[in-house]
Amino acid sequence: MPSKPFAFSAKAVIKDAQGRFLLLRRSASSKHNAGKWDLPGGKADVGEDLDQALIREVSQETTFTVRLERVLGAAESETPVKKIAYLIFEAHFESGEICLSDEHDAYAWVSPSRLDEYDICPQFRQFLKERIAGGGL
Amino acid sequence: MPSKPFAFSAKAVIKDAQGRFLLLRRSASSKHNAGKWDLPGGKADVGEDLDQALIREVSQETTFTVRLERVLGAAESETPVKKIAYLIFEAHFESGEICLSDEHDAYAWVSPSRLDEYDICPQFRQFLKERIAGGGL
């Protein structure tokens, strides 16, 4: 049985000086996970490397310029027709004032201790909880 | 300060019917980690998706045909000029008799309980130990 094809996405954990990290709320019109809180980032275009895709997506979604620091982990989600593999990076904020695109309707800088207050996209819940419990964020 | 560029690699955990997973020993002539045990897989070519790169690399390194099942995790390593981000998949063995390329000089099907007997590339040690301890392999 052939398996579903994979698509690839890169996501960023961007922290502020207080150790809070940025979540974006997906617009009500989103095809998947509408209204849930998401990490910044998104899919690579054809032929685009994941690091360049992530820097581009973060810029489109927030106007932030970021520098990718290190790989934090991975995650996976599934649609009826494909699987999505996520590579999650820690990104250093370099410049910008946040300005959201149509993809999101709210943003929040979230302390690790307040993560449970947010309805986070299921594919990132386990990752964020494990990394916070493990002290890696 | 600009950060080092990222390169991307995909690696496979391929298990046999006894729950052992495949490790390959890097040849003495390897540029990095010579003589250490590695997971099958390797870097994507320019414009190549990571899933296709992994299927190709596994075929080149072992002659195995595999089907990618799910994302297991991520890892990172660093050379003087770049960082390498690894996306690690569980892969299902479909067909083939193992035949190594010049990149490796030995292979082993390793039980999780015997992992400590192998000198594994440092970027995968933590991942493998954590996943074995967590029951995810």
In this prediction the ipTM stands at 0.90
| Residues A37/A25, Cβ–Cβ less than 8 Å | yes
List A residues 9-28 in contact with B (Cβ-Cβ < 8 A).
none
Does A94 reach chain B within 8 Å, measured CB to CB?
no
Neighbours of B106 (CB within 10 A): 12
Q: Which residues contact B121 (CB under 8 A, 6 or more apart)?
A: B26, B33, B36, B37, B38, B39, B77
The pLDDT-based confidence of A133 (bands split at 50, 70, 90) is low
Give mean pLDDT, residues A52-81.
96
Q: Which residues contact A84 (CB under 8 A, 6 or more apart)?
A: A6, A7, A8, A9, A43, A76, A77, A78, A123
Chain B residue numbers with beta carbons less than 8 Å from the beta carbon of A2 are: 67
Distance (Å, whole) CA B79 – CA B69: 30
The pLDDT-based confidence of B10 (bands split at 50, 70, 90) is very high
Give mean pLDDT, residues A41-70.
95
Read off the tokens for B58.
């596994």
pLDDT digits (tens, 9 = 90+) for B19-73: 999 999 999 999 999 999 999 999 999 889 999 999 999 999 999 999 999 999 9
Q: Where are the beta strands (DSSP E) in B2-53?
A: 6-14, 21-26, 37-38, 41-43
CB nearest B68 (choices: A3, A74, A86): A3
CB contact under 8 A, B83 and A70: yes
CA-angle at B88, arms to A46 and B137, nearest 5°: 150
pLDDT digits (tens, 9 = 90+) for A103-130: 999 999 999 999 999 999 999 998 998 8
pTM of the shown model: 0.93
| pLDDT at site A3 | 76
Chain A residue numbers with beta carbons less than 8 Å from the beta carbon of B48 are: none
**Shortest CA gap B29–chain A (Å):** 28
Angstrom CA distances, A49 to B2, B48, B66, B87, stand at 17, 9, 24, 13
Closest CA to B131 of B65, B79, B71, B60: B71
Does B78 reach chain A within 8 Å, measured CB to CB?
no
Closest CA to B127 of A129, B136, B118: B136
